[in-house]
Each structure stands twice: as C-alpha cells, then as structure tokens.
Chain A
Amino acid sequence: MQAELPHLDPAASQINVEDSAEQIPSAILSLSRMLLTLFIALLMGALVIWISGKNPVEAYRALLQASLGSRTAIANSLLAATPILFTGMAAAIAFRAGIFNVGVEGSLYLGGFAAAWVGFTFTTLPPLLIIPLSLLTAGIVGGVWCYFPAILRSRLQVDELVTTILLNYVAILFTEYLVNGPFLVPGLANAMSPQISESARLLRLLPPSQLNASFLFALLAALFTIYLMTRTKFGYEIRMVGDNPQFARWSGINVVNVIEKVMVYGGIFGGLAGAGQVMGVHYRFIAGFSSGLAFTGITVALLVRNSPLGVLLASLLFGMLRSGSATMEIMTDVPRDLIRVLEATIIFFAAIEFGNLLWRRHREH
C-alpha cells in the first residue's frame, strides 16, 4: 500500500519553519494602520484648533511638553495610562475571542468600591496584608460581576453586548447608592467613601506625581496578557474560538468555558483598574470617578486591532494625550476637550473595524 502512494521527494516537502516572510507584512501593516489613524486624528485636531483661531503647532508642542517634557510630566502620563492598560487588555482579549464584553466599566466601579471597603474597614492590618487583600477582593468582585452576563451568554445565548451595557448602569448606580447611603460620610460635599487606611495606600513612585505602584501592577498584567495570548493554551483557545467557534467545538475545545473565562478575565482586570485608582490616586471611593475608563480601553483595543502588544503601546500614548491636555489648556488656551476630538476621530476610524466585527457576529448568529 505504501508503495502506491504518491510520496513527494522528502527534500521537496521539507518546509522551512523559520520562513516568516508572510508575517512581517501583516505586522507592518497593522502598525502603519495605527500610525495612519493617529496621524489623521492629529490632523483633524489641528484643523479644529486652527478654525478656533489658535496655533496648532504651538498647541501640540505644549501637549508634548506637558506629557514628556519633565520627569513629573512623564510620570503623569504613565499615571493616566495605568487604568487604560487594564481596560485595554480586557477589551482586546474579549474582542479577540469574538465576545463583546462592555461590562468592564461596571467591574471597575465595583472593584474600586471593594478595594476602598477593605481599605477603610480593616484599618489595623499591616500593608503587607491589606494591599494584597484589597487587590484580591477587587479582582474577585470585578470577575464575579462579569461572570453573570458570561453565564447568560454561554448557557442561554443572551446577547452579552446588551446585558453588559445594562449591568454597567446597575454597578455605577449601586456604588453611588453605597456612598450616599450605608457608607455616607457626614460632612463631605461629594458622594465619597471614608478614606482608606494609610497602610492600604499604594506607594507613590515619583512624587509630586500621583504615579503609584498600581502602574507596575498594570504593566505586569499587560506583559502577562501578551504572554497569555501568544504563548499559552488559553491564548490559543481564545484565538481559535474567536476565529471560528465551530472549528473550536469540533476540535473538542470547550467553547462555553472559554467564553466564560474570557469575560471573567476582563472583569478581574476591570476590578484591578478600579482598585488601582482608589488605592493609588484618590485613597477613597468617589462616585462616578471613572468617567468611562473602560470605554477608553475599548477604543485602544479597536485602534490596535486587539493586539495585546499594541494595547501596551497605545495605552501609553493615550496616557500622554490625557495627561498633557490639562497643561496644554493652561498654556495655550486650547481646551482639553481637544483630546476628546482626537479620541473621537480614532473611534471613527476604528468603528469601520468594529462594523466588520459586528457584521461577522451577525452572520454567526
């Protein structure tokens, strides 16, 4: 039987594994796509500045100066990048698995509150105990919060896009209730929790900047996610499920399980992002403190087409824009909302991609 088979010359069928010629163009392509999008966004911003009668070159110079011009400026940029690193990774992983987890914002609020609660309740614990405990609680609360829509999606086919959007309101309003009701601090004008204990506060890395140890956690989490997506079984499962869930099912991959894990992973990251803000910046839970950090994460993920490495770079960039804008406003009179224009332009282009994703999702249903 063997002899009848049309076997190729072994030398001819030997294939060079190292041949990555086909991969390089795709990496260059996505990088240049990101840069092009940014360039167009900056151009649009310049146009807006120019129309409002100010000098775009000056404004951008001020922006650059304010985000990279000094040690404190750089530290502030990294500070602004910290929560976006978490939420960007959460979004990228979910999208890569073909899941629309928009519930990270809710996890961020609940995780933030959980960290604050641990911090102002167990005030006698030493830093070495209370900091891990706070982070752990925040991660668990954030993860569990995303587990509900995950079950609804994977077991009952309830659309996670809808449930997570709606659950965000529940989480945001619930935490607002908590600081206005059971945890109300008399005498404070704003709705906020009591301060967390000294020992629960994260180390400030470069005072006077508020940059703190949570940036290091975010960096670690980002590096871990990059490793996870490219070098682990779970990353492989995510990619296979995202590319073709049917194929994954036929191959024996437990698709339901992968979907649930991905959503919980995003929730944990959301919780940690919230904890970082509470423990490192505000030292208490403040109602409405996030103003859409998870959605900035979604923007970042879309901009880099869900590449974890790309999220790392783009988060730093967004951090620069965010932190530089306040100083730019003071120095050049260009309002900081300009950054929103830039972000909106980026979203506009990313939306084309998003539209493709939605279309694919529609087809699969």
Chain B
Amino acid sequence: MKSITKTFPGVIANDKIDLEVAQGSIHALLGENGAGKSTLMKILYGIYTPEEGKIFFNGQEIRVPNPRAAIRLGIGMVHQEFHLVPSLTVSENIALGYELIRNGLVDRKAQRRRIAEIIEHFGFKLPLEKPIAELPVGVQQQVEIIKLLYRKAEILILDEPTSVLTPQEVDNLFGVLQNLREQGKTIIYITHKLREVKKICDFATILRRGRVVGRVRVADVTERELANLMVGEQVIDYIFPRSGQVGEKKLVLERVSAIDDRGILALKEVTFTVNAGEIVGVAGVQGSGQSELVEVISGLIHPAKGKIWLNGKDITRASPRQRREIGLAIIPEKRKEQGLNLNTNVVENVISTRYYKSPFSRWLTLFDRPAEKFAQRIVSEFSITMSSLKSKVENLSGGNQQKVIVGREMIEQPDVLIAAYPTRGLDVSAAQFVRETMIRRRDQGGAILLISADLDELFAVSDRILILYEGQIVGETKPDETSFEKVGLLMTGHFHAS
C-alpha cells in the first residue's frame, strides 16, 4: 500500500501511509487506539475508499471498491465482531454467500468435501455440523478464518483477534496462524499488544496518529523499543498547571473486583482514592478493565468484592441514580450508544439525568420551559453549534455531540466526574475545550477520574496517573516525575524493567 490517505470530518485517520507486507509472513500492524490501524485495513478490504494512494498486490496495482472485490482478489478480513449466523451450522456459515451450485441447487456434498479438505490441510479441529451458537468464541473465530480460506484468501487480516479470547484460545489461535504461515498464507495482524507481536509476528509496522513511525523486523527489536515506538515521545505543546490544592477524599475504591459480561474477572482488587481538586488519570491498553471500572463506579454493574465510597457515603450497593444524587457525573465511553439518545433532540438529551427533579417536573408532569432554558444554558456555555434546540442530536457533529454530554454532566459542577475517553475522536480544538472544562472544574474543587488512551492527554491534565494492566493497578505515578517510556512499559506488563 502506497501513500494511503484517509480523512474523516476533523481527523486525518491515515496520513500518507506506506505499508509493505511480504508473502508468507505474519505482519503486525501495531499502534494505540485511534492510530489508524483499522482504517488502513478497512481500506485494503474495500470498506473505505482512500482519498489518495495506491494498492499493489503481487506487483500489480489493484482497486478495491468493496469487500466483495477484496475477496475476489484473495483478501479476507476477520473483524473484532464476528459475522456469523448463530443458528446455522459451521459448514453452512463457512459456505454462506459462496455456496457451490450444481444444476441450480446447492451441492452440499461437494461443499462439505471442500470444507473438509481445507480443515485437514490446515490442521483445524472442529465440529462441522454443530450450530455456531453452541460453540465457544475461540472456535467461532476459527470458523471465520476457515471462511476466508474457503473463499481462497491469500491475505488474511485479523483485527485484534485476541481481544475476545481466553489465554488457552489465544494459544490455539497462534498454532493456527503458524500453520497458515507454513502453508504460504500472508497474515496482517492488527494489535496493540506487544507480547503477541513478539511471539507470533515476523515484521511490524507501527502507526501513531495516522502515520507510520516505524518498520521493524520483530526479531531485531525488544518489546521496550516497540513500546517506545507505539506511545512515542511526549509532545509538549500544552501542559496545564497542576492542581493547586488537594482536598478531602471524594471517591474511594477499596479492593474492588468486578466480573465482565463474559464472566471473566476484569477488575482485581482495585484500590485508589480521588480527592477534591485533583485529576487522576487512568492509563492502560484497551481492554485492561477500564470499561468495568467505569461501570462499577457508575453502578451499572455491582462489584464482586470490595467497597466504594462517594462523598463519604458507602455507595457499593447504591443505584446509578442514587450515586448521581450524591454528586457523581459520568461521561461514558461510548458517546452514541451510552451517552446520547440520537433519535431525539438536544433538550431531551440534556435533561436525562435530572428530568425527575424540580424545576423540570412536578408530580407526574414534565415541563417544557425549564428544560429548554436549561438546554439553552448548556448550548451557550459550551458553545454547541447546531441549527435549533429541536434538531436531532444525530445530526450534530461528533464534537458537538460530545459537548452535549460534557455540558449535561458538568454544568452543575459535580463533586466527582468520571470521564471515559472524553476527547476520543474529537478535533484538536474540541478536545482542548473538553480538557479546559475539566481543569476548570478541578480548580473549583471537583474530583475527576480521567480514563484515556492518549498518553499525551493523561500527562497534560492529570495530577496523578494510575496504570491499569489486566484489571489491576500496577503503578501510580505523577506525570512530572515519570516518562512516557516508564508508563508505556507498565501499561504493557513490564513491571520490573523500570
């Protein structure tokens, strides 16, 4: 791939990216969230069209207008979310959309034979006649891979394949990938996990903020070097003044453990305190337990063990609304799914956390006027741009949508704010605005827990940084007393190297 450029409104996702992948190798595409890995691969797979750049395959220039074309060329992709029909069997799923037809009918026999050949050839072991729904995630992933082989893929793109797997399933996957490499298949492996790169990949291209920052032969570099390339040098273009004075304890977690929706222990005995007048940052690679941390503090899941105090009150068993009443505000991780109701207007979106109180309602009735006034106040204080208060939130830009959430959560000066990736996907000025809002709240005595994937941001606004790794707090540091390198190593599980 040569000089690929792709922009989304307000962001350059890929900035003149060159990528060269050798046949018969496993090539890692390494980078943090939002580095542009998935975008680049979606271009190769024909989901996005780049503004600029060319793609060559076996020396010939190709055009990939859609996934169907990519498959015809021999390029296949396994997405993070599987595209399988739960009620159909393994073999039906594999052949789906590419059935072998004879005399206008599906030739099940020939189809089964061909799948059996593939399975034998590449050394898979799985039950072909079982419905997908009865199989564990790891096996479903193998079905996705076989599906690509059935479609005669030469290049297989795997998007963070281990994020949904248990450790044993990861070992199985690596076995499969090694087999595929031996059979001459080419694999592009999207990840942010260094250990996996080191273990399974031959080459690595490292992306940061939409650019290539390194191309290496994996055998030649250490994990530490990879980590440095991935998180990069600190860009000191803005640092906010640190907290002036730290007050009393506002949010306390004591040995909190939590189980995620897969039933796996996602938080392990997490203990920390956030005080009035400070921003505590949480660093960690994606999937280290951040989502569960936010959910357990918000009251959406209950801790399996441990206690949580908010403003001096034990809220371990309190409902989400009770917690908000005690002074909690939350900027959720997923803006469109959790933070907003895209189907309705700004007014109804900003009253969602307080509609049941005066002046918005009395007894049964909900009043329009106070809600509109309140929305108007948020719109002007947070400079939200839109055509009317009655416009659907869906039609707002990403930055303005985020401002609606930030406005709703912060306009009444919450004692404690949990901000999960509050600037993700925002352009520079909108991101800066959100950070300034948090700093201002801190200076007025608010306690803020900031979860972010952006180390620059964490170093710029945090007064303390906690490092989360596999559900545990593995380090606590102050941004002025540490470096990207040290935090990056802790984030990736190297506790003793520093």
Q: Do A and B bind each other?
A: yes
Are A244 and B342 neighbours in the complex by a CB distance under 8 Å?
Answer: yes
One of B343, B365, B391, B429 near A232 (C-beta < 8 A) = B365
The range of chain A's interface size is 35 or more
Some 28 contacts from A to B, beta carbons below 8 A apart, are: A7-B383, A8-B383, A8-B385, A10-B380, A13-B384, A15-B376, A15-B389, A19-B388, A19-B390, A20-B390, A21-B388, A22-B388, A22-B391, A232-B361, A232-B364, A232-B366, A233-B356, A233-B365, A234-B364, A235-B366, A244-B340, A247-B337, A247-B352, A249-B320, A250-B298, A250-B300, A250-B339, A252-B353
Rounded to whole Å, the gap between the CB of A3 and the closest CB of chain B is 11
- Knowing A233-B361, A250-B332, the reply to whether A244 touches B337 (Cβ < 8 A) is yes
Are the CB atoms of B383 and A243 closer together than 8 Å? no
Return chain A residues, CB-CB under 8 Å to B440. 1
On whether A15 and B379 interact (CB within 8 A), knowing A233-B364, A250-B332, the answer reads yes
Q: How far is the CA of A266 from the CA of B419 in the complex (A)?
A: 39
B348 at the interface (CB under 8 A from A): yes
Cβ-defined contact, B352 with A248, below 8 A:
yes
Q: Are B388 and A15 in contact (CB under 8 A)?
A: yes
Chain B contact-residue range equals 35 or more
Residues on the A chain within 8 Å of B355, using CB: 233, 236
> B388 to A240, Cβ gap below 8 A?
no
**Most chain B beta-carbon neighbours within 10 Å: one of A16, A20, A240:** A240
How far, in whole Å, are A178 and B323 apart by their CA atoms in the complex? 50
User: How long is the Cα–Cα vector from A243 to B393 in the complex, in angstroms?
Assistant: 13
Instruction: Decide if A189 is an interface residue (CB 8 Å cutoff).
Output: no
Is B448 part of the binding interface, using a Cβ–Cβ cutoff of 8 Å? Answer: no
A52 lies within 8 A of chain B by Cβ? no
- Quick one: closest A residue to B386, CB to CB? A15
For the complex, give the distance between the alpha carbons of A248 and B300 in Å: 11
Q: Are B364 and A240 in contact (CB under 8 A)?
A: no
Cβ contacts under 8 Å, A1 to chain B = 436, 439-440, 443
Contact A5 B343 (CB under 8 A): no
Chain A residue nearest to B319 in the complex (CB): A254
By the criterion CB–CB under 8 Å, are B338 and A246 in contact? yes
Which A233-270 residues have a C-beta within 8 angstroms of B?
233-236, 239-240, 243-244, 246-254
Whether B330 sits at the interface, judged by CB under 8 Å, is: yes
Whether A249 contacts B342 in the complex (CB less than 8 A), given A8-B383, A13-B380, A22-B388, comes out as: no
Q: Are A233 and B298 in touch, CB under 8 angstroms?
A: no
Within 8 A of A (CB), among B342-362: 342-344, 348, 351-353, 355-356, 361
The interface residues of chain A lying within 8 Å CB-to-CB of B341 are 240, 243-244, 247-248
Is B456 an interface residue when CB atoms closer than 8 A count as contact?
Answer: no
Partner of A17, one of B319, B324, B330, B389: B389
Give the residues from 3 to 62 in chain A that come closer than 8 angstroms, CB to CB, to chain B. 4-8, 10, 13-17, 19-23
B321 interfacial by beta-carbon distance below 8 Å: yes
Cβ contact within 8 Å between A247 and B376 = no
CB distance from B250 to the nearest CB of A (A): 19
CB of A273 to closest CB in B, whole Å: 23
Check B433 for interface membership: any CB of A closer than 8 A. Answer: yes
Q: A7-B383, A22-B391 are in contact. Are A252 and B366 (CB under 8 A)?
A: no
Residues in A with CB closer than 8 Å to B18 are none
Q: List B44-91 residues whose CB lies under 8 Å from chain A.
A: none
Nearest B residue (CB) for A26:
B392
B352 near A251 with CB under 8 A, answer yes
Q: Is the CB of A252 within 8 A of B320?
A: yes
Q: Which residue of B lies closest to A21 (CB)?
A: B388
Known: A14-B380, A20-B390. A5 touches B339 (CB 8 A): no
A56 to chain B, nearest CB (A): 41
CB nearest neighbor in B for A250: B338
Can you name the residue of chain A whose Cβ is closest to the Cβ of B391? Answer: A22
Residue in contact with B433 in the complex, picked from A5, A246, A247, CB distance below 8 Å: A5
| Contacts known (A240-B348, A247-B340, A250-B298); A17 close to B372, Cβ less than 8 A | yes
Q: Which residues of A contact B298 (CB under 8 A)?
A: 250
Q: Which of B379, B392, B436 lies in contact with A4, CB distance below 8 A?
A: B436
Please give, as numbers and ranges, the residues of chain B lying within 8 Å of A232 by CB-CB distance. 361, 364-366
Bound-state CA distance A60–B171 (Å) is 73
Taking a contact as CB atoms under 8 Å apart, the answer to whether A233 and B366 are in contact is yes
CA of A252 to CA of B332, assembled, Å: 12
* Contacting residue for A5 out of B334, B348, B387, B436, CB 8 A: B436
How far, in angstroms, from A322 to B205 measured CA to CA in the complex? Answer: 71
> Which residue of A4, A23, A253 has the most chain B CB atoms within 10 A of its CB atom?
A253
**A244 to chain B: closest residue by CB:** B341
Nearest-neighbour CB distance to chain B for A104, whole angstroms, equals 23
Residues of chain B within 8 A of A4, CB atoms compared: 436
B91 to chain A, nearest CB (A): 24
Known contacts A1-B439, A22-B391: does B330 contact A250 (CB below 8 Å)? yes
CB distance from A28 to the nearest CB of B (A): 16
Question: Are B390 and A22 within 8 A (Cβ)?
Answer: yes
Write out, one digit per residue, whether chain B residues 415-437 have a CB within 8 A of any chain A CB (1) or not (0): 00000000000000100010010
Q: Are A253 and B352 in contact (CB under 8 A)?
A: yes
Query: Quick check: A23 and B365 within 8 Å, CB to CB?
Result: no
Instruction: Report A14 CB to chain B, min CB distance, Å.
Output: 7
Q: Closest approach, in angstroms, between the C-beta of A288 and any C-beta of chain B?
A: 36
- Interchain CB contact under 8 A, B386 and A251: no
Which residues of chain B come closer than 8 Å to A246, judged between CB atoms?
334, 337-338
| Cβ contact within 8 Å between B380 and A6 | no
B198 to chain A, nearest CB (A): 37
Chain A residue numbers with a CB within 8 Å of B300 are 249-250
Whether A239 touches B320, Cβ cut-off 8 Å, given contacts A6-B383, A8-B383, is no
Bound-state CA distance A145–B113 (Å) is: 54
- Which residues of A208-249 have CB atoms within 8 Å of chain B's CB atoms? 228, 231-236, 239-240, 243-244, 246-249
Assembled-state Cα–Cα distance A97/B384 (Å): 29
Find chain B residues with CB under 8 A from A233 CB.
Answer: 355-356, 361, 364-366
- For the complex of A and B, the 4 pairs showing the least CB-CB separation, nearest first, are A252-B321, A251-B352, A243-B343, A19-B388
Contact in complex: B380, A251 (CB < 8 Å): no
**Given A6-B429, A247-B339, A252 and B383 touching (CB < 8 A)?**
no
- The interface residues of chain B lying within 8 Å CB-to-CB of A6 are 383, 429, 433
Q: Which residues of A contact B390 (CB under 8 A)?
A: 17, 19-20, 22-23
Least Cβ–Cβ distance between B251 and chain A, in angstroms: 17
Given A6-B429, A13-B380, A16-B388, CB of A240 within 8 Å of CB of B352: yes
Complex Cα spacing A17 to B389, Å: 6
CB contacts (< 8 Å) of A19 on chain B: these are 387-390
CA distance A17 to B366 in the complex (A): 17
In the complex, what distance in Å separates the CA atom of A318 from the CA atom of B339? 41
Q: Please indicate the chain B residues that have their CB under 8 angstroms from the CB of A236 in the complex.
A: 348, 351, 355, 366
Chain B residue nearest to A239 (CB atoms) is: B344
Q: Which residues 365-410 of B sit at the A interface, judged by CB distance below 8 A?
A: 365-366, 372, 376, 379-380, 383-392
With contacts A5-B436, A10-B380, A252-B320 known, what are 9 further pairs, Cβ within 8 A?
Answer: A1-B440, A4-B436, A232-B366, A236-B355, A240-B348, A243-B341, A244-B342, A247-B337, A250-B330
